[in-house]
Structure 1
């Protein structure tokens, strides 16, 4: 994209000239730090004005972005202005990896890390040198840092330090210990609490024949840690001290290039002490592995599941538990690393990690070993294959995860801020109970002492930043999920993206067909294929997009799909759900917030009529929290205005008023009902006119003005047709009678309610009328303490019906 290049690893640099104004530099720097991700307006305002933003902050920010677009357009007339994209709830800087030094640094550093892990020390050192050469100073050192930049600076400095550590480690393997001694002295002084630089210096000095100086480094390190933190050096530092004291010969020379053994099998890693749950799966694998051992081997067992679900961890744990059944012991082979075939001893259990296809396993079958595979897709072509499908942790398995998040002091005691069990459960739920994601969240908390559990939960609750929060060092949930996505062909990737338009939770093939724009049969075929790829979960007749995969799909949809295609798909999905939302007999689905979420999506797409229709369905769902409900009705009110739907305006004003009434905000309710009545009369909507009058009568009743309330209800009760407004008027009139005259007077009006409910064929209203009539029989008299003022809505009173104010003023009705 054009010729503009950006540098943030040091002072801000823009090829063609960076903007001179400090605020413009702040906006651009913040967007570049989160390149290709949406940065919310609120986050940008917090960054620019961390203490006290002006009242016009949002408008001023728009002006800054406009000026930046002009500046970038000048630098690159073809593509510069398009680099800054407006995308709810903020802005996005669209850059390619080679246009930004920080992305180039991270890419080179990852390649260096991979080379080091594979034992290619020359390549590892080269990649990390090139990565580190991109740094010109601290991140955006010429721009004041607010909370977002401060966090990014900490993260990038940690990444730089890690790259430095791995470069030194690789160069030590290459025998460059003499050249490294001066630099390591500087690093040990610059990072007095980082043990790895001290241990590298100890190794370098020891290999130079300076054993006493190496031991002196350990002594100074220990003194610093004891004085500053009250702790002893870690086990690796202490082990190194013992080797130097013993004059270890192996330590005195660099390790050989590990590439000569790449691909060979190796001993199984030790059991993971933090392994949790999976009781049922372990029992199944233990039974299968022991049966295979007793049969002489040669069996093939596969653990399959979505990326990050913990397939390798489960296989390793199961192999350790069944090891006593295998005389040759368990061994591990990563087929993703090229190399010679293993030559295992008889009676070996070979754990084969990272199987992508049957071809990875076919050469191993003649070995006669029991093979325990880990694979995302089922390698179905293998003879006699037994499969264990692994899903996310079950809810009950997450209750013991608090130990993953608890920090310990030197004595092993939990810190005071260790997470409580319920916080761990919420974190696990926000991570989709995906083990990799939960571990990434735990790593974030451990790596940032200034974060509290509340900080972590806040980051995870925000959907737009959740995948960012689940990235710490090598633990990158987005990258793991993205690799599975990129492994699919174009059609499957497109289907996966479009499914993100469905609300969270289970969906059927008809809903999927609406999202994909196909018939049901083709949608089922697409879902089966995505289920094979472990990008969707199948559960009998329902399907589900796992939560973190749903977030990834939404990101990919925004970045890769044409806006007109997305808008058409949004329309199809909203129409499918709006039909159900309009059915009064349909019960709330598994996610009561689905209509509200879809209404928001429709509003963002400019589909005003669908926004209103979906919000109408919200009234029949289990109620979300009051803030979300009020936001939904306010959004639909604006949509109704935009499409000039006056009855819908009146309806949304009335629902906002009902919400205010429920939460005892009577003045706001009265104002909104007055506006609703004006709109309804203006467009001749008799039903909404009646409902507004009923709402105003309820307010009068709450204030003790029963005569005025009864008078206001008269015109609605006189209407000839059986309408919902007339039913509600009879309901309120019964409450007025109960307050004025007693139960017998109310009985007639509740009887009218029953008659109208039968005429309307509304079971919920019929049950309400019958409950109210029974309550008159069982609780009549001045001792009445509670009244069901609306279906399912009770109000508690002191000394009888409407004899005084509710017990808890300011609380919602019970």
Structure 2
């Protein structure tokens, strides 16, 4: 069974071709079915949440039956897949919390095959294997039959995927042309490039490719005319000049630079017009490994700046005999004009690098996506004056963890005297080593760095690593966490920019233009939903820049969906999920398993005790596991405890659903729920807002896992805390109590729902719920719960001014709740009695009852109830406003809920 989404939707199976030679198509005809299948295919082998699918099907206003309708669509799709593959089709689409998972082979979807071929083509181009790069990219591009799912309506997921894959196609096309220019195929490319520049009028790379191709064909005037047209378009439509690469190429064409006529390199086709030089090929590969903008290698026509320009880039003076470090292998990436934030960290890093001795090491560490490389490169440019012999850059991520990447030798040779080789110790009397800063990016361990240090006598080494390479002597480091709230919010707010700022950039000097839907609260929410992770914040802001019809409110709404948030944080070739997955995949399986299981804990701080429950370990072993994960930057640690950074938590949730059997997840969830329920029961009344939200989340988890009794226990542990979504939470717990056949628990949940209905002024509904709770409690023989339900009914009578009826309900309830161990219920009854006294007897009597409330709240150790009682006593000591007597007094009948006595309206 194979799927095609790079064009109209195609589904083919194992059936024999028709008489016409075409394979029968099983693609669904209904548009909604194509939407569901397309969304599952674009996220093949990942769980797609029900919420994401509903949002994709009905972006504006889903029907009330959306979930049921989606289930019907999934059932139809399973039948379709079974028709295409009778043996395995139906099992390919499985239900997996919190949605559905479509399992396919790596070569079963054309988009997956395209991405794999493109990735391999990119690697071949970096390795200067131009023939392989061109072939791989040709095969990748041949898979395209049209725009992504061109016969299918697009919602947010498919729209984002269409933009991402279209950008990836353009990138693959660009790299294929680069490779073919290196192979000497400029004549064959001219016609295609002329079409491309007509279609992509502002794509500078296509224009520079055409300029090189025309120049190599001897058409110098036409090559210059291409630049003139490009410049005119950019100036008239955007008010900007062409970039430095285009301008430099124009100058070289004007000068008749003979290096521009050369092609060739490893795997090159040696035609009559092909030269024999390899400089261009080496330069392109070097630029790719050095991390130059674009990341795909420089154009064959851009062999590097002249000496003066190279010296300027390196921060040295050409007239002083500077060797021009930035022009060859190991060139330091250009400074990012959009760099912003990290002021304190940058200052600290600059001081460390400037003060480091020759041969010393400084490291930038932190979680993936924290902006480590950006900070290191920015610092390297700021300290240019301290390193007169230059600054070099080497990415070790191609070195398989412990070795050095290909091409490292050519970089290191520039640091060493001619008599020394890479890794060789300096001999006595050897020439003085240059004073150089070497930036080593992607350091996996100290074993990659330690062999180099004896040879790097005059260099300071600036390491970029996720974890601290602690085995290096004298190492000093800067740890990067999330951005501060103001830094993250400023980046979101700066997405529009002033005229002259490149489209989509987030420069620090750009103007803050709030625009519609971009209020400070929304900006703050977007930043927090991104976990204030620099890569994620930049990606989210880029989404806004790419979609003028979006507001920050639209973006925030899409980011609120936890199941689809990482899908939103993907644009062009930047994928936050992929960056986080790289860090996850680098860990051994025991660490990965621990990381996944920790996602069962509620968001927020936790300690070794809570982790021990999730991991099924002793506290000591759980503590060691947390330290190990903290070293890998998968868990954040501070003085207040540990926590999973927000986006890493979402990744852990995804991987848990994908990698762990349901029975393992259920057992771990049960351990966590029991641990939190026991901890809450041991400290009644000491509930923080974050703690209560955690219990709510765990109650939902327990309910979803079929742990009915635990769902009830966790909801009970909330005590009197009523969350914003309390109605839904207590309704789930009521259903769980029914499934347990626990009448007392049913009575408690109905009473809690009655409390919520009363606070929302749904009096009839509250009366129905309190009455039902009273009946269930009596059937269960639960005297305490029956009395608490009576208190609820009495408060309804008080609110209606029916003093006698309220007193008749309160007196027996007070008597029942005076028994030992019923302090909470006694508090509620005393509070209601105080309100009755205030209405019917006078302030002195009310003061006595509120005094009892204060004592009971102290016994409960419930600060919230204590504050309420104190506030009520203070209010009673103040003179009434606008008159005398209790009738004119405002009454706080519940914490934070005020009424004008005796039966007024909310103030």
**What is the TM-score normalised by the length of structure 2?**
0.81
Where 1:653 maps in the other structure, the secondary structure is helix
Please name the residue that 2:515 is paired with: 417
Looking at structure 2, the residues matched to 302 and 314 of structure 1 have their Cα atoms a distance apart, in angstroms, of 11
Residue 312 (structure 1) aligned with residue 373 (structure 2):
yes
- The 5 A counterparts of 1:529-544 are 529-540=628-639, 542-544=641-643
Change (3 A) 1:442 1:52: closer
Q: Pick closer, same or farther for the CA change 1:619–1:726 going to 2, 3 Å.
A: closer
> What CA distance in whole angstroms lies between the structure 1 residues aligned with 2:164 and 2:567?
12
Deviates more, 1:242-251 or 1:32-41: 242-251
Matched ranges for 1:139-154 at <5 A? 139-154=148-163
| Mapped contact 1:690–1:726 kept (Cα < 8 A) | no
Distance 1:47 1:759 in 2: 52
Contact 1:647–1:679, Cα closer than 8 Å, also in 2? yes
2:439 and 2:856 map into 1 onto residues whose CA distance is: 70
Contact 1:274 1:404 in 2 (8 A): no
Looking at structure 2, the residues matched to 661 and 563 of structure 1 have their Cα atoms a distance apart, in angstroms, of 40
Structure-2 change in CA distance of 1:221 and 1:558 (3 Å): same
Counterpart mapping for 1:674-713 below 5 A: 674-713=771-810
State the match for 1:646 in structure 2: 743
Q: Secondary structure at the match of 1:6?
A: strand
- Tell me the TM-score normalised to structure 1 length: 0.90
What corresponds to 2:11 in structure 1? 14
Distance 2:906 2:493 in 1: 45
> 2:802 & 2:719 partners in 1: Cα distance?
28
Question: Could you give the per-residue CA deviations for residues 247-275 of structure 1, whole angstroms, max 9, x where no partner exists?
Answer: 44444444621278678853323333333
- Counterpart check, 1:795 vs 2:885: no
Residue of structure 2 aligned with 1:321, choices 366, 382, 388: 382
Structure 1 residue 338 and structure 2 residue 347: aligned?
no
Separation (CA, whole Å) in 2 of partners of 1:413 and 1:586: 46
Query: What residue in structure 1 maps to residue 661 of structure 2?
Result: 562
Structure 2 counterparts to residues 438-449 of structure 1, below 5 A: 438-449=537-548
In the TM superposition, 1:776-787 aligns within 5 A as: 776-779=876-879, 781-782=884-885, 785-787=889-891
Whether the 8 Å CA contact 1:399–1:422 is kept in 2: the answer is: no
1:438-460: per-residue Cα shift (whole Å, max 9, x none)? 22222322333333222222222
Q: Is 1:482–2:482 an aligned residue pair?
A: no
Aligned ranges 1:322-471 → 2 under 5 Å: 322-336=383-397, 337-339=405-407, 340=409, 341-344=412-415, 346-366=434-454, 367-368=456-457, 369-402=459-492, 404-410=494-500, 417=515, 422-471=521-570
Aligned to 2:757: 660
SS in 2 for 1:405: coil
The alpha-carbon deviation at position 193 of structure 1 amounts to 4.7
The alpha carbon displacement at 1:545 in A equals 1.7
Which residue in the other structure is 2:82 paired with? 73
**C-alpha contact (below 8 Å) 2:747/2:774 kept by paired residues:** yes
Partners in 2 of 1:591 and 1:761 — Cα distance? 16
Q: What is the deviation of 1:178?
A: 1.0
Aligned-residue Cα RMSD (Å) equals 3.0
CA distance in 2, matches of 1:312, 1:493: 25
1:234 aligned partner? 242
- Kindly indicate whether the alpha-carbon contact (under 8 Å) linking 1:299 and 1:370 is maintained by their aligned counterparts in 2: yes
Partner SS, residue 132 of structure 2:
helix
Deviations, residues 273-317 of structure 1 (Å, cap 9, x unaligned):
333333333343333323324xxx121222222222222222222
Distance 1:208 1:265 in 2: 29
Task: Work out the CA distance in 2 between the residues paired with 1:219 and 1:362.
Answer: 51
Q: Which residue of 2 aligns with 1:811?
A: none
1:629 maps to what in 2? 726
Aligned to 2:829: 729
Relative to structure 1, the CA distance from residue 20 to residue 423 in structure 2 (aligned partners, 3 Å threshold; closer, same or farther) is closer
**How many residue pairs are counted as aligned between the two chains?**
793
3-state SS, counterpart of residue 504 of structure 1 = coil
Distance, in Å, in 2 between the alignment partners of 1:233 and 1:713 is 81
2:163·2:571 contact (CA, 8 Å) conserved in 1?
A: no
- Pairing 1:302–2:363 present: yes
**Structure 1 segments unaligned to the other structure (5+ residues):** 808-814
The CA deviation at 1:505 is 1.5
- How far 1:51 moved relative to its partner? 7.3
How far did residue 104 of structure 1 move?
A: 1.4
Equivalences for residues 254-265 of structure 1 within 5 A: 254=263, 256-258=280-282
Superposed CA deviations along residues 162-216 of structure 1, whole A, max 9, x for unmatched, are: 2222222332233222111111222233334544434433332232222333344
Q: CA separation of 1:712/1:331 partners in 2, compared to 1, >3 Å: closer, same or farther?
A: same
Asked if the contact 1:301–1:373 (Cα under 8 Å) also holds between the matched residues in 2, the reply is yes
Distance 1:362 1:727, change over 3 A: closer
Residues 311, 390 of structure 1: 8 Å contact kept: yes
How many angstroms apart in 1 are the aligned matches of 2:60 and 2:577?
Answer: 33
Counterparts of 2:527 and 2:140, CA distance in 1: 34
CA contact (8 A) 2:36 2:53 kept: yes
Could you give the per-residue CA deviations for residues 784-806 of structure 1, whole angstroms, max 9, x where no partner exists?
5432323x334152xxx326322
CA separation in 1, counterparts of 2:742 and 2:660? 31
Please state whether the residue corresponding to 1:234 is helix, strand or coil: coil
Q: Deviations over 1:444-479 (max 9, x none)?
A: 223333332222222222211121122222322211
Moved more, 412-421 or 638-647: 412-421
1:577 aligns with 2:676: yes
Instruction: Return the alpha-carbon distance in structure 2 between the equivalents of residues 552 and 40 of structure 1.
Output: 13
Q: Deviations over 1:359-392 (max 9, x none)?
A: 2112321221221211222222222222333222
Residue 806 (structure 1) aligned with residue 906 (structure 2):
yes
- Alignment partner of 1:507 is 2:628: no
- Provide, for residues 388-435 of structure 1, a one-character-per-residue CA deviation record: whole Å limited to 9, x for no partner: 332222334435434652344458766663955554443332222222
Tell me if the contact between 2:9 and 2:27 (Cα under 8 Å) persists in the aligned partners.
no
Tell me, in whole angstroms, the C-alpha distance in 1 between the residues paired with 2:608 and 2:525. Answer: 30
**Counterpart of 1:664 in 2: which secondary structure?**
coil
CA distance, structure 2, for counterparts of residue 571 and residue 76 of structure 1: 38
Q: In the alignment, does 2:36 pair up with 1:27? A: yes
- Map 1:485-496 onto structure 2 (within 5 A): 485-496=584-595
1:156-235 equivalence runs, <5 A: 156-221=165-230, 229=237, 231=239, 234-235=242-243
User: How many angstroms does 1:519 deviate by?
Assistant: 0.9
Higher relative CO (CA 8 A, sep ≥ 6), structure 1 or 2?
A: 2
The separation in 2 between residues aligned to 1:763 and 1:470, in whole angstroms, is 41
1:280–1:198 distance in 2 versus 1, CA, 3 Å: closer
Q: 1:328 deviation in Å?
A: 2.1
Distance 1:646 1:683 in 2: 6
Q: Shift of residue 594 of structure 1?
A: 0.7
SS of 1:584's equivalent in the other structure is: coil
1:316-349, CA deviations, whole angstroms, 9 ceiling, x for partnerless residues? 2223333323332332222333221343252212
| Cα distance in 2 between the residues matched to 1:244 and 1:36 | 50
